[in-house]
Chain A
Amino acid sequence: DTGVSQDPRHKITKRGQNVTFRCDPISEHNRLYWYRQTLGQGPEFLTYFQNEAQLEKSRLLSDRFSAERPKGSFSTLEIQRTEQGDSAMYLCASSSGERTQQFFGPGTRLTVL
């Protein structure tokens, strides 16, 4: 069990650029979650997948955000036309289903200049 991994760990980009983050869940975990954490706040839910199906999306997930989990394994989160307000830590978590805990990755810290 290698844990949840996220890549990259840090990303600095200029406003208006597109960025993509990757999350590799714990193997055989069928649920995968994305959260966003800004400084001094708790994580906020963005979206989650069960296998390859995206089952729930938060109001926070604007049209500029898109998430995929094409084969039910790794997931990508893309932000188009980044804004300074997108600067945050993006966290990924996975679980093996109901009544089990979510395991969190180390996060990807995004800075939009």
Chain B
Amino acid sequence: AQSVTQLDSQVPVFEEAPVELRCNYSSSVSVYLFWYVQYPNQGLQLLLKYLSGSTLVKGINGFEAEFNKSQTSFHLRKPSVHISDTAEYFCAVSRSSGYALNFGKGTSLLVTP
């Protein structure tokens, strides 16, 4: 079975500062990895995904993530955050794209002026 651990439940950061949200996964097989964002009172939206190929994945809104197989990590980064990035971020893993997603518990990103 695949599982995900999001190491930080809350990350406070100042506007225009860089941010990294950490995600580690465990799996005995090859996996597919995803980051979703959930804005207040809105549905989940895909930020980016790693299926295969380049380990550096670029997503929407200036976010990127790097797949590191040796460290079983898929950390999410943004070089300069905006107030509007305040949201809940979920890392998810699947044994194959198109199958059930196993989500982490989420990281709450709070961006302040």
| A residues in contact (CB < 8 Å) with B | 4, 31, 33, 35, 40-45, 48, 56, 58, 91, 93, 95, 97-107
CB closest chain-B residue, reference A50: B98
Interface residues on B, range: 20 to 34
Contact A104 B100 (CB under 8 A): no
Q: Which of B45, B49, B104 contacts A42 (CB 8 A)?
A: B104
Given A42-B92, A45-B100, A45-B102: 12 more A-B contacts, CB < 8 Å: A33-B100, A35-B101, A35-B103, A40-B105, A42-B106, A93-B44, A98-B97, A99-B98, A101-B49, A104-B44, A104-B45, A107-B43
Give the complex CA separation of A99 and B99 in angstroms: 9
* B-side contacts of A100, CB under 8 Å: 97-98
Q: How many A-B residue pairs have CB under 8 A?
A: 59
Q: A95-B98, A100-B98 are in contact. Are A41 and B43 (CB under 8 A)?
A: no
With A48-B100, A56-B100, A101-B49: A43-B105 Cβ-Cβ less than 8 Å: no
Q: Could you tell me the dominant secondary structure of chain A's interface residues?
A: loop
B57 interface contact, C-beta 8 A = no
